[in-house]
Chain A
Amino acid sequence: MDYLLLQVLNGVQLGLLMFLLAAGLTLTFGIMDLVNLAHGSLYMMGAYIAWTLIGWTDSFMLGALLALPATFLLGVAVEALVMRRLYARDHLDQVLATFGLILFFNELVRAVWGPAGKSIAVPGFLARTVEILPGVPYPAYRFAIIVAGAAVAALLAWLVARTRLGMLIRAGASNRRMIGALGVNIELLFTLVFGLGAVFAGLAGLMAAPLSSVKIGMGDDILIVAFVIIVIGGIGSIKGAFVAAMVVGQIDIVGRAFLPDFLKTFLSTSAASSAAPAISQVLIYIVMAGVLVWRPTGLFGQRS
């Protein structure tokens, strides 16, 4: 039972990280109709910038906090220089240009931070376990991710539901032209939304870093899963992104924790271990296909 709880928590932790990444993506898709393949690069930049700042300030918390506005500024810069010119273009142009941005960012990181990648240590005060339930230790850092991720999700929900910016976001997701006609400063809105998405992506990147590593291209493969999440959840829907991210997180954990043992009953250990993660990935795509058949615009997407 304890083991099950631990694995569910791991799934929640992964889901929250994925939500942070997907939230920005679904916003730019929904409001600006922009295919942004370089969103994973923002995830990567968040981690690298955090690494540098943590090094300068010699404090994880301070470095991480400072990395957020830095990533926001980076997002704003990217938006002003490149994205702005792509809003009016067709999707192919956007795919091409943002694909080029991925290459550029990967190489930039290599030039500035070196090819080897970096590592960020779990901050000292979190390098221990907490007892979720009596006698059930869970790594404190992962628990912190859950807490932080949930807090950000709640903040975003409040932002979207209760503030003017949030109202504009929801309106823009339903009907882009209308908000322009209503006299809203579209350019500023788009810049803000893009910057916000960048911050969330960067936050996800820096939080994930101590669990894996900070390396070139770290956001590229995880980006595809983020796309799947927003398609499942519905492009433009924050709620959808959250639900889909949670589902995907659990599928991934099931694949890693439970599936191998199940498969080992009739496959060799290494065959089971090859098949298990593949199956859970494949499941994610099958879920996506299934959702699209049932609801072509995703679970909570706008019916256009």
Chain B
Amino acid sequence: MIASLRTPRGLVTALLLLVLAVLPLLTQAFDQRYLLSIGTRIVIWAIAAISLNMILGYGGLVSFGHAVFFGIGGYAVGILSHHGVQSGSVQWPVGIVAAALWAALIGALSLRTRGLYFIMITLAFAQLVYYVSAGLEAYGADDGLNISRSRFPGLIDLRDKASFYWLCFALLGGTLWFCSRFAISRFGLVIRGAKSNDLRMTALGFPVFRYRLAAFTLSGAFGGLAGILLANEGAYISPAMMSWVKSGDLIVIVVLGGMGTLFGPLYGTIAFFVLEESLPPLLDLGRKGWGEYWQIVFGPMLVLIALYAKGGIDSLFGRRHG
């Protein structure tokens, strides 16, 4: 799965995974509780980024509404919790299935379109869900809703930050494993082939639309999982979870990390969060007060990456072997 530890890519990735695996112990030792919260969010966003990578990175489908799955997973948990259904073993499957169903629905409609229209229609469907949740008075509308965390009696207490983190980390591992299988499976190869040339794939006899729809649905399911975790992380849901800016952030993360690579989304997520936390103090070092305007640097960085560094962080490790 991982490239040999002798390659730079393999070494760095293994190190990252190791640090992530023991993060709660590290933050405990250095009394940096806040870093564990950030770490948890990184892991959750990485899961969402991997799910987007499946269709964007491997499939070339520019879906601009992926944050909607954060919202569907999160609201499924939140609404059920609000109505007294606290059990995670009920909430979580409902959330994942709801996200998958929505993905299947909008996939069926959107995948018939191409280019600009596809981007717009995925964005529009995300906005639709956003506005529906912003209109639901009963669940807080724009103000959002405080919820209790999912209960898994006897198994795990999600209120314990370390336990919750490890659960997220384990799920990240599972998602990575799934993605690695996907990438080399026949299914994945069809998706990847269709990215380069879908006419050719169709000529070869593959029903490209159906394959893409399936990939879209899976991608939505994992996105929903990330949403469920996000809702539990903050014990709070709000329409802001699925704002289109977040969808844009996810695209940035996937490209930044390296599209169509296994660990690219992870690199991208870490880089994104690290940049967000470290650019301000770095700029402040240059001159006090500049740190506030870090996006003046980050914005053009994105432009440059789009123009000159499409390979992302993964490409920094040099060519892949095999």
Residues in A lying within 8 Å of B, measured CB to CB: 29, 33, 35, 37, 82, 85-86, 89, 91-97, 99-108, 110-111, 220, 224, 227-228, 231, 235, 267-268, 270-271, 274-279, 281-282, 285-286, 288-289, 292-293, 296-297
Instruction: Establish whether residues B244 and A224, one from each chain, have CB atoms under 8 Å apart when the complex forms.
Output: yes
Q: Write the residues of chain B forming the contact surface with A, with a CB cutoff of 8 angstroms.
A: 56, 62, 64, 109, 112-113, 115-117, 119-121, 123-125, 127-128, 131-132, 134-138, 141-142, 244-245, 248, 251-252, 255, 292-296, 298-303, 305-307, 310
Measured between beta carbons, the chain B residues less than 8 angstroms from A101 are 299, 303
Asked if B119 and A91 sit within 8 Å, CB to CB, the answer is yes
CB distance from A229 to the nearest CB of B (A): 11
Contact B124 A288 (CB under 8 A): yes
Name the B residues within 8 Å of A276 (CB-CB): 135
Interface pair A282/B131, CB less than 8 Å apart: yes
Smallest CB–CB gap between B108 and chain A, Å?
Answer: 11
Chain B min CB distance to A22 (Å): 13
- Which chain A residue shows the least CB distance to B124? A285
**Shortest Cβ distance from A263 into chain B, in angstroms?**
10
Chain B residues within 8 Å of A275, by CB: 135-137
Tell me how far the C-beta of A276 lies from the nearest C-beta in chain B, rounded to whole angstroms. Answer: 8
Chain A residues within 8 Å of B292, by CB: 110
A269 to B128, CA, bound (A): 23
Instruction: Give the residues in chain B near A285, CB-CB below 8 Å.
Output: 124-125, 127-128, 131
Given A228-B124, A274-B135, A289-B121, CB of A95 within 8 Å of CB of B64: yes
| A106–B62 CB distance below 8 A | no
A96-B303, A104-B295 known; 10 new pairs, CB 8 Å cut-off, are: A89-B307, A99-B251, A100-B305, A106-B295, A107-B295, A228-B124, A274-B135, A278-B132, A282-B131, A297-B117
Residue of B nearest to A231 (CB): B120
Q: Which residues of A contact B305 (CB under 8 A)?
A: 96, 100
B300: which A residues are within 8 A, CB to CB? Answer: 100, 104
Kindly provide the distance from the CB of B315 to the nearest chain A CB, expressed in whole angstroms.
15
Q: Which residues of B contact A104 (CB under 8 A)?
A: 295-296, 299-300, 303
Chain B nearest CB from A73 CB (Å) reads: 20
Asked if A97 and B113 sit within 8 Å, CB to CB, the answer is no
| Chain A min CB distance to B284 (Å) | 14
A293–B307 Cα distance when bound, in Å, is 34
Main SS at interface, chain A: helix
> Do the beta carbons of A292 and B299 come within 8 Å of each other?
no
Give A228's nearest chain B residue, CB to CB: B124
Q: Check A111–B296 contact: CB distance below 8 A.
A: yes
Which of A35, A85, A111, A296 lies in contact with B293, CB distance below 8 A? A111
Instruction: Point out the residues of chain B lying under 8 angstroms from A224, CB to CB.
Output: 123-124, 127, 244
Q: In the complex, what residues of B have CB within 8 A of residue A228's CB? A: 120, 124
Instruction: Please give, as numbers and ranges, the residues of chain B lying within 8 Å of A293 by CB-CB distance.
Output: 109
When distances are taken between beta carbons in the complex, the residues of chain B under 8 Å from A105 are: 299
Which of B137, B245, B248, B303: most chain A Cβ within 10 A?
A: B303
Query: How far apart are B260's CB and chain A's nearest CB, in angstroms?
Result: 12
A278's partner among B56, B135, B251 (CB-CB below 8 A) is B135
The residues of B that contact A100 with a CB separation of less than 8 Å are 298-303, 305-306
Residue of A nearest to B62 (CB): A92
The answer to whether residues A271 and B119 also contact, given A224-B127, A281-B131 and a CB cut-off of 8 A, is no
Bound: A93/B312 CA distance, A: 12
Known: A96-B305, A227-B123, A285-B125. A103 touches B298 (CB 8 A): yes
CB pair A91 B295 closer than 8 Å = no
- Are B119 and A35 in contact (CB-based, < 8 A)? yes
Specify which of A107, A220, A267, A296 lies most central, judged by the most chain B CB atoms within 10 Å of its CB.
A107
Decide if B310 touches A93 in the complex (CB within 8 Å). yes
The answer to whether A107 and B293 have CB atoms under 8 Å apart is yes
Q: For the complex, what is the distance from the CA of A107 to the CA of B297, rounded to whole Å?
A: 9
CA of A35 to CA of B120, assembled, Å: 10
A233, chain B: closest CB distance, angstroms: 12
Contact between A93 and B124, CB atoms less than 8 A apart: no
* A268–B137 CA distance with the chains assembled, in angstroms: 10
Are B124 and A91 in contact, CB atoms less than 8 angstroms apart?
no
**Contacting pair B295 A227 (CB below 8 A):** no
Closest 8 CB pairs of A and B: A278-B135, A100-B302, A104-B299, A103-B299, A96-B306, A97-B306, A271-B137, A274-B137
B141 touches A274 (CB 8 A): yes
- Tell me, rounded to whole Å, the shortest Cβ–Cβ distance linking A31 to chain B: 13
A94 to B306, CA, bound (A): 8
Residue of A nearest to B136 (CB): A274
Q: How far is the CA of A62 from the CA of B26 in the complex (A)?
A: 62
B127: which A residues are within 8 A, CB to CB? 224, 281, 285
- A227 vs B125: C-alpha distance when bound (angstroms): 13
Q: Shortest CB–CB separation between residue A272 and chain B, in angstroms? A: 8
CA distance A224 to B303 in the complex (A): 21
On whether the beta carbons of A289 and B134 are closer than 8 Å, the reply is: no
B135 touches A96 (CB 8 A): no
A284 to chain B, nearest CB (A): 9
User: CA separation between A105 and B292, bound complex, in Å?
Assistant: 14
Query: Please, which residue of chain A has its CB at the minimum distance from the CB of B255?
Result: A96
Per the bound structure, the CA–CA distance linking A292 and B64 in Å amounts to 17
A271 and B121 in contact, given A111-B293, A296-B113 (Cβ under 8 angstroms): no
Docked-complex contact B109 and A289, CB < 8 angstroms: yes
